[in-house]
Structure 1
Amino acid sequence: MDIPIEKKRFTKSKIAIIAGTILLISFIIFVFVSSGGKSKLNVDTERIMVSTVTNGVFQENIPVSGIVLPITTIYLDALEGGRVEEIFVEDGTIMKQNEPILRLSNTDLELSLVNQETSVYNLLTQMQISQNAARQNTINKLNQMTDVESAFIEANRLYQLNKTLYDQKAIGRHEFQESENNYNYQKQRMELAQQILKQDSISVQQETNQAKSSFSRTQSALKLMRKKVGDLVVRAPVEGQLTSLVAEIGQSINKGNRLGQIDVLSGFKVRVDIDEHYISRIYSGQTGTFPFNGKNYKLLIKKVYTQVTDGRFQVDMLFDEKVPEGIRRGQSLQIRLALSDEKQAILIPKGGFFQKTGGNWVFKLSDDGKLAYKVDIQLGSQNTEYYEVLKGLNPDDKVVTSSYDNFGDKQELILK
């Protein structure tokens, strides 16, 4: 009869595996406990940027770019259409006021001017004829008035004489009555002649006024027509530099077409593009600064254009004091546009850490500078150089401000 052999539960190999596993787990637990449960990463200090938190003057601003433009630009539009016959100056010429730039020809307009001049001449001739006729008619009425007046004077003399003789009974009643009737008749003729002469004077005055008014309107129309013909010569409206001249000899120009522009060189302004995100915070009088030839200069917002195009709007800024020497039209400027007043704040320099943390935390160095650990913070406003620290940091704290992309999810950095 065979005796069964009892199988051992733990072989030497199993015991070795179990012992090794226990040792490994113990080592891991030891490392975790000794490190406080935080993952660490060795970092070379030469590959990171360490900055000091400071307490200083803070002003929120944003970086914007601007283009230097003339203080005033006058556009040259064709007031009348026509064909380009002559060009007197070249693009870029410094112009004086009323100096001719180019000449157009327009036969229809010039023919209309001739017809208008003829109409004025005919009207003036007709007015002279009418005035002569009115003057002759007045002379005739004055002559008639003279005759009537003379007859009235004679009738009055005879009436007064016969009245005296009749009172003395030197003449009969019939003779006296005849002289009285003639006197009354001549008196009525005299009054009627005076009314006719007065009415003629009023009528002549009205006709003269109407003729003058008609002539004045025609003269105004002629003056306007001459101006339209004169506008065929395009002149500089102000003193400045001619730019963007687009006309060529023989080219047909329609009324209203843009021919070029005159840039007034008495000063400059800066046209600035700003993201529409800031439109509610931009207003006239805000300031901006820019560096030029080693100095900082100040600009003031003069006008805000609220129309948004492609997510941006524009403002015009003027130089606060004098224009920097050497600045030129078309030059690009990098401007710091202030969005708030200056105030005291805790500041942390801007850096690549923000892209990883969103400003919610940062690696802060220990007092001995050998370790950097995570610290929760709260940031406020920002400008081109600093973030405003609201919570989590104090002045003189040292923090890592370079990019955190290579740190992964490490909780602490061991600095070497």
Structure 2
Amino acid sequence: MIKDTSAQDVAVDTKTNSKKMVVIAVVGILFIALAANAFFGQSSASRSFDRSSVQIARVEVGDLVRDIVANGRIVAANAPQVYSPEQGFVNLNVKAGDEVFVDQVVAIVDSPELANQLKQQVSEMDRLKGELARQKLDARSQTLQLTKLLDIAQVDLEAAQRENRRANASMKNNLISQIDFEKAVDDLARATLTQKHAEEEVAIAKDRLAFELESAKSTVLRQTLVVEELERKISELNILATVNGVVGNLLVQPRALVNKNDALMTLVDLSAYEVELNVAESYANDLAIGMQAEITIAGEKLMGKLSSISPEVKERQVTTRVRFDQRQLSGIRQNQQVSARVLLENKSQVVKVRRGSFMQAGGFFAYKLDGNIAKKIDIQLGATSMREVEVLAGLSPNDQIIISNYDEFIGTETFLLN
């Protein structure tokens, strides 16, 4: 028979029991705090993403070089085309890739029409020269006749003067009648007038003959110029190289019929190269002749300057030329592909961040990191370069932002990075 439970009772230390209660209370408080933190954290970051799936960059202060990245190719600074001076059949003396020298005959145009014109004009010039010689003979003959008439008039005048002197002497001695005396006076007057008119006619005739001879000479000279021009055109049918270099492209086939000013071939001057760059038209207003450009050719970087800018836009691009010192390189080739940076502006001590895909969202906002929490904030960007972008507002130095693509964050104000 069990009387009571006294045999099962154990005495408890009140001090030990109080310590256990304190520990339990502390653990409960910590649990409540963690639960609250998890609750509020979950309420502020409703989504989470893997940190390794995003790119993070730190905002810095430093120099920013505003530039344009463009691709291009090596082109000859001097690559003239050869044109046909006249219509005819072309004979090519070179092939593509052949080396040529200045004044070397690279092609000959056979123009039967031009050759026939030259023969006709030479014949016409010979005829005019013969006509000029005939006119010279006629002029000499007419001059002789006029001189003869003048001499006869002079002789008649002298005879009339002698007869007049005899008449005067005879009249004094009453040897002749008054009628004979007056006749002698009239003969002298007539002879004097005839001699005077003969002199004037000879002078006028000589001037007329000289004018006709000069006109004939001018006609011959004009025809000579026509013949010389045709000879010049025929001489230019032998087309000469204008540079020392190589033949680039043949633009016609041998013995092809070409028209005047048709392109025949391209010559390439290998002594000077330039870089031809295609720049997006959005940067057209920023370009200026003389700007520095960094060119990368076969892994080597060279500095050059913009030498020309096309005034027109083709396929939404502007073509520019960059001159550089090619003595630092060897083995460069025509049409070799290169890349370049056109340096537009150098800004010192600006707030900047590494350029990334986040700019595709417009560049008006970014996700700033605060520990593991990314929060969307408004920002304002300025000048951009190939690697960096200027920050005008919204961020401070040492801030960290996500610079990768924001497509998966659309509609999210904050999120957690695991």
TM-score by length of 2: 0.79
Residue in structure 2 matched with residue 295 of structure 1 by the alignment = 301
State which drifts further: 87-96 or 197-206: 87-96
Percent identity among equivalent residues? 21
Q: CA deviation at 1:211?
A: 0.9
In 2 relative to 1, CA 381–191 (structure 1 residues): closer, same or farther, beyond 3 Å? same
Question: How far is 1:207 from its partner?
Answer: 0.9
1:153-194 superposed Cα distances (whole Å, 9 cap, x missing partner): 343354456557757878664454333322222221222111
Amino acid at match of 2:75: L
- The answer to whether the 8 Å contact 1:67/1:330 transfers is yes
CA distance 1:271–1:253, shift in 2 (3 Å): same
| 1:288 and 1:336 in contact (8 A); partners too | yes
Distance 1:50 1:341, change over 3 A: closer
8 Å CA contact 2:374, 2:417 repeated in 1: yes
The answer as to whether partners of 2:294 and 2:301 remain within 8 angstroms in 1 is: no
1:276-295 alignment to 2 at 5 Å?
276-292=281-297, 293-295=299-301
Deviation at 1:285, TM superposition (A): 3.7
Aligned length: 382
Q: Is 1:228 the equivalent of 2:233?
A: yes
1:193 aligns with 2:186: no
In the alignment, structure 2 segments of 5+ residues that lack a partner are: 1-33
Amino acid at match of 1:397: D
Matched, 1:179 2:148: no
Structure 1 residues 123 and 397: CA distance shift in structure 2, 3 A:
same
- Alpha-carbon shift at residue 238 of structure 1 (Å): 4.4
- Aligned-residue offset at 1:384: 0.9
Structure 1 counterpart of 2:417:
414
Matches of residues 100-249 of structure 1 in structure 2 within 5 Å? 100-159=105-164, 162-163=167-168, 173-249=178-254
2:69 paired residue number: 63
Aligned residue number for residue 273 of structure 2: 268
Question: In the TM superposition, what is the alpha-carbon distance from 1:344 to its structure 2 partner?
Answer: 4.0
Bigger CA radius of gyration: 2
Q: Does residue 37 in structure 1 map to residue 40 in structure 2?
A: no
1:302 Cα deviation from its structure 2 partner: 2.0
**Conserved? CA contact 1:41–1:410, under 8 Å:** no
Contact 2:75/2:276 (8 A) holds in 1: yes
1:379 maps to: 381
Question: Cα gap change, 1:165/1:300 in structure 2, threshold over 3 Å: closer, same or farther?
Answer: farther
Match of 1:5 in 2: none
- CA offset at residue 124 of structure 1? 1.2
Three-state SS of the structure 2 residue aligned to 1:229 is: helix
Check whether the contact 1:58–1:345 (CA below 8 A) recurs between aligned residues: yes
Give 3-state SS (helix, strand or coil) of 1:109's partner. Answer: helix
Distance in 1, matches of 2:68 and 2:320, equals 14
* Code of the aligned partner of 1:33: F
TM-score by length of 1: 0.80
1:360 to 361, 364, 369: 364
1:390 deviation in Å?
0.7
Aligned to 1:91: 96
Query: Partners of 2:162 and 2:245 in 1: how far apart?
Result: 85
Pair 339,174 (structure 1): closer, same or farther in 2 beyond 3 Å: same
Q: Flag the 1:94–1:80 CA change in 2: closer, same or farther, 3 A.
A: same
Structure 1 vs Structure 2 CA RMSD: 3.1
Give me the whole-angstrom Cα distance separating, in 2, the residues matched to 1:394 and 1:243: 57
Q: Distance in 1 between matches of 2:181 and 2:95?
A: 100
Counterpart selection for 1:347 from 349, 352, 366:
352
Contact 1:302 1:318 in 2 (8 A): no
